[in-house]
Amino acid sequence: MSVLEREASVGMTPEHIRSQRLPLVVNIGIGVLALVLSAVLVLSTGIGNWVLVVVLGVVLYLVGLLAAATRVEGRRSARNRLWRSLVYAACVLAVLPLASVVWTLVSKGAARFDGDFFLTSMNNIGARDENGGAYHAIVGTLEQVGIAALLAIPLGVLGAIYLVEYGRGKFALTVRFFVDVMTGIPSIVAGLFVLAFWVLIVSPWFNNGVPRFSGFAAALALTVLMLPTIVRSTEEMLRLVPGPLREGAYALGVPQWKTILRVVLPTALPGIITGIMLAIARAAGETAPVLLVAGGAPFINFDPFLGNQSSLALFVYQQAGDASKYAQPRAWTAALTLVALVLILTIAAKLLARRNRLSR
Amino acid sequence: MAKRIEASNVSSYYGSFKAIDNVSMTVEPKTITALIGPSGCGKSTFLRSINRMHEVLPNARIEGRLTIDDQNIYDSDVDVTAVRRMIGMVFQRPNPFPTMSIFDNVVAGLRLNGVKRKSTLEESAEKSLRAANLWDEVKDRLGRPGAGLSGGQQQRLCIARTIAVEPQVVLMDEPCSALDPISTLAIEDLMFKLKDRFTIIIVTHNMQQAARVSDKTGFFSIDKTGDPGRLIEYDDTQKIFSNPSEKKTEDYITGRFG
């Protein structure tokens, strides 16, 4: 008798390699029974609606399945079933809000998804006007996020390269620590920093002593927010590149900088791009810094360096809080546009990263 | 072309840990030298010291003199990349660059060192792949990724990549340990072929392999864990495997070690 047979009553002889399987009919039966039971329970007592019926039904189904499977298949298989069901349930639970968000955006945003919305601004649009659009906000978002990406991507990637490939000792540790601290900065604080530093102190130098809001100031605040995300994600990706790959390049007499540029970075590129896209998506959805340092504006302003600018997120915030009955549809459509914009950027980046990969 | 390597009193450290102690040996040009010994005795560390790959690891350092044709490669005015261009290395595990095709892998050393002319690269790729006994297997799929090859093919790809830059010395760190006997034979044949042009130093755990391929053999050993590895005996392979002068060497090669 083996230890497993003695202590855990696990059969170790050839008779034990077959086991009964719970028939699919029984499985479905338990599901139906659980739903009916929960419907009766919930609706007869009147403690909730169909959502509670489903939730309770799932719980009852899991309990019933565990009991039935334990009888028919034995404890090990039953536990396996239970955990697998829990994993599936968790997956469904995680996807539900996402699907719900997308559905809400599409259904409510479709109403104003028209030419007016994408070709006009809110200039001279009063509370009784049902048209009006987010052209100015789209321009603002693209310019601000574009400038922020232009600043943050090279800085962040180079910083990560320093931390992984060159940084040794106290200085690197300090840099990494402050990057971690920066990750937790609330966006409003980043906005305040840029307001105090750029708008109030630096911008008067360019504007005859008068402080001015600008899209560029918003871009600076977004840069502050994007930088730590990019540094940390790129750093993790670079660390995943195996050491022997670098040594393989060194052994060919390739200098370190060229090894990084031609071997390490291409290997880590898909992951780095994912990190960058996450940072961009986060920046595109920021409202507070834009409100603080770009001020928002109803009119089209192409110049990011001079004067107020709006952005999609700020547009959503302002329209959602507007008393006009035409404002809310505009807010939904702007939110839909923002999500679509981020989605398109992400897909484009993924395609770009894949183009360089070799086909298997 | 091939160079003489002379190590005198070389000691290598990882931080405060001394990995090898006072190793001296001379490797003649156009020979194959095998380094054998139990795991952890410093063979690989010594090998990696020869092309300054040891210092890639943090806090690793080295004492003593290592000369190539009387040039000390550890002099402060020596360019590390130039040393490594001259002394190529094949690693234990095949490490083709995953983002590059077979062709790009072979010419990586040339291209990343500034060779741009396509005809030169193609010529060199074919020559190196032929020398590595890989050409017939891959000539129709040079554009496919190098990582898609089998383990033995990948290792030969790495050898082709190493000899494409035409180094003068080739170091091999257990190049066959992950390979089947047929691939191993292919690589051993290859070493005999390369001997005409390169000085080869190979670390191996396979004593038959050391006896088959090498002209000279160095036996490394440690007394106990934590002690630095030392070179116990260095002599003609013939002599090491038939009539070693040290008792320890005899014990090891006859399997009575430890």
Q: What is the pLDDT of residues A81-137, one digit of tens each?
A: 889 988 998 999 899 999 999 999 999 999 888 888 999 999 888 888 888 889 999
Q: Tell me the pLDDT of chain A averaged across its residues.
A: 90
Question: What is chain A's length?
Answer: 360
Residues of B in contact with A254 (CB under 8 A): 81, 108-109, 112-113
Q: Does B71 touch chain A (CB under 8 A)?
A: no
Instruction: Indicate whether A49 pLDDT > 90.
Output: no
User: In sequence order, what are the residues at sequence separation of 6 or more whose Cβ sits closer than 8 angstroms to the Cβ of residue A347?
Assistant: none
Out of A251, A262, A263, closest to residue B51 by CB: A251
Average pLDDT over residues A295-308: 90
Task: Say yes or no to pLDDT of A153 above 60.
Answer: yes
Instruction: Give the chain B residue whose CA is nearest to the CA of A256.
Output: B81
Q: Which residue has the higher pLDDT, A189 or B70?
A: A189
Instruction: Return the closest-CA partner of residue A217 out of A233, A237, A236, A195.
Output: A195
A contacts of B161 (beta carbons < 8 Å): 248, 252
Which one, of B65, B132, B137, B144, lies nearest residue B102 by Cα?
Answer: B144
pLDDT tens per residue across span A281-299: 999 999 999 999 998 889 9
Instruction: Please tell me which residue of chain A has the smallest CA distance to B57.
Output: A243
Q: Percentage of chain B with pLDDT > 90?
A: 48
Q: At A150, list the tokens.
A: 């232009």
**Cβ contacts (< 8 Å) between B99 and chain A: which residues?**
263, 266-267, 269, 356-358
* Residue A62 near residue A7, CB atoms below 8 Å: no
Looking at domain A117-355, its CATH class is mainly alpha
Q: Report chain A residues whose CB lies below 8 A from the CB of B114.
A: none
User: Who among B97, B158, B165 is closest to A253 (CB)?
Assistant: B165
How far B24 CA lies from chain A's nearest CA (Å)? 23
- Cβ neighbours of A259 in B, within 8 Å: 112
Provide the pLDDT for residue A359: 47
Q: Is B114 on the interface with A (CB under 8 A)?
A: no
Q: What is the DSSP string of B185-206?
A: HHHHHHHHHHTTT-EEEEE-S-
pLDDT tier for residue A259 given thresholds of 50, 70 and 90: very high
* Three-state SS at B118: helix
User: Cβ distance B7 to B20 under 8 Å?
Assistant: no
- Would you say B215 and B33 are in contact if contact means Cβ atoms under 8 Å apart? yes
Nearest CA in chain A to B85: A253
Contact predicate A274/B77, CB 8 Å = no
Flag if A358 and B86 touch (Cβ within 8 Å).
Answer: no
pLDDT confidence of residue A162: 94
**CB contact set of B64 (below 8 Å; sequence gap of 6+):** B7, B8, B9, B10, B11, B22, B23
Q: Does B112 touch chain A (CB under 8 A)?
A: yes
> Hey, are the CB atoms on A250 and B165 less than 8 Å from each other?
no
Asked whether this complex has an ipTM greater than 0.95, the answer is no
How far, CA to CA in Å, does B62 sit from each of A250, B14, B54, B170, B197? Answer: 18, 9, 8, 21, 29
Nearest CB to A253: which of B109, B144, B148?
Answer: B109
Cβ-in-10-Å burial (0-12, 13-18, 19+) of B56 comes to middle
Closest CA to B159 of B197, B106, B229: B106
A vs B, Cβ pairs < 8 A, gives 82
Which residues in chain B have their CB less than 8 angstroms from residue A262's CB? Answer: 108, 112
The verdict on a CB contact (< 8 Å) between A267 and B95 is: no
**CA-to-CA dists, residue B56 to A243, B15, B162, angstroms:** 10, 13, 19
> Is residue B85 within 8 angstroms of chain A, CB to CB?
yes
For position A241, what pLDDT does the model report?
93
A270, closest residue in chain B (CA to CA):
B99
Q: Does an H or E element contain A87, and which?
A: helix A75-109
Here the tokens at position A275 are 């990190």
Q: Which of A245, A252, A356 sits opposite B161 (nearest CB)?
A: A252
Inter-chain contact B99–A358, Cβ cutoff 8 Å? yes
Q: Is A250 within 8 Å of B82 when comparing Cβ atoms? A: no
In the predicted model, is pLDDT for residue B258 greater than 60?
Answer: no
* Chain A CA closest to residue B96: A245
- The CA distance from A145 to A121, in Å, is 19
**How high is the pLDDT of residue A33?**
92
Q: Does B47 touch chain A (CB under 8 A)?
A: no
Which helix (H) or strand (E) element contains residue B219? strand B216-221
CB-CB contact of B175 with B92 (8 Å): yes
Backbone angles phi, psi at B148, to 5 degrees: -85, -5
SS3 category, A114? coil
8 Å CB contact of A247 and B58: no
Q: What is the pTM of this model?
A: 0.83
B154 burial type by CB count under 10 A (0-12 exposed, 13-18 middle, 19+ buried): buried
B100 three-state secondary structure = coil
A-facing residues of B in 197-256 (CB < 8 A) are none
pLDDT at position A195 over 90:
yes
Cβ distance B98 to A249 less than 8 Å, yes or no, reads no
Please judge whether A168 and B58 are an interchain contact, meaning their C-beta atoms are less than 8 angstroms apart. yes
Give the chain A residue whose CA is nearest to the CA of B141.
A360
Mutate: best of B95, B100, B161, partner A, most A CBs <10 A: B95
B91 near A CB under 8 A: yes
Domain ranges of chain A: 2-110, 117-355
Interface contact flag, B88 A252, Cβ < 8 Å: yes
Beta pairing partners, B72:
B67
Contact (Cβ atoms closer than 8 angstroms) between residue B214 and residue B32? yes
Tell me the chain A residues in contact with residue B148 when contact means C-beta distances shorter than 8 Å: 360
CA distance A53 to B8: 82
pLDDT for B161:
93
DSSP symbol at B145: B
Q: How many CB atoms lie within 10 A of CB B231?
A: 23
Length of chain B: 258
User: Does pLDDT of A264 surpass 60?
Assistant: yes
Convert the pLDDT of each residue in B187-203 to its tens digit. Answer: 888 888 888 888 999 99
pLDDT at A360: 42
Mean pLDDT of A277-284: 93
For chain A, how are helix, strand and coil distributed in percent, rounded to 5? 75, 0, 25
Q: CA A254 to CA A238: how far, in whole Å? A: 18
- Kindly indicate the confidence band of residue A74, based on its pLDDT and cuts at 50, 70 and 90: confident
**Token couple for B154:** 């990948």
B contact test, residue of A252, A258, A261 with most B CBs within 10 A: A252
* pLDDT confidence of residue B34: 94
Helix axes A215-240, A135-161, angle to 10 degrees: 40
Residue B177 pLDDT: 85
Instruction: Give the pLDDT band (50/70/90) at residue A3.
Output: confident
Find the CB nearest A252 among B58, B108, B143.
B108
Specify the DSSP class assigned to residue B26. Answer: E
Instruction: Kindly state the average pLDDT of the residues A327-351.
Output: 92
C-alpha distances out from residue A70 to A31, A66, B110, B174, Å: 16, 6, 65, 53
The predicted pLDDT at position B257 comes to 61
Contact B53 A251 (CB under 8 A): yes
| Residue A288 and residue A243 in contact, taking contact as beta carbons nearer than 8 Å | no
Q: Chain B closest CA to A357's CA: distance in Å? A: 6
B18 burial type by CB count under 10 A (0-12 exposed, 13-18 middle, 19+ buried): middle
Work out the widest C-alpha separation in chain A, in whole angstroms.
Answer: 93
Chain B residues within 8 A of A168 when measuring between CB atoms? 58
Per-residue 3-state assignment (H helix, E strand, C coil) for A166-220: HCCHHHHHHHHHHHHHHHCCCHHHHHHHHHHHHHHHHHHHHCCCCCCCCHHHHHH
**Cβ contacts of A244 within 8 Å, gap of 6 or more:** B91, B93, B95
Strand partners, A309: A295
Hey, how many other C-beta atoms are within 10 angstroms of the C-beta on A241? 20
For A156-174, the pLDDT digits (tens) are 999 999 999 998 889 999 9
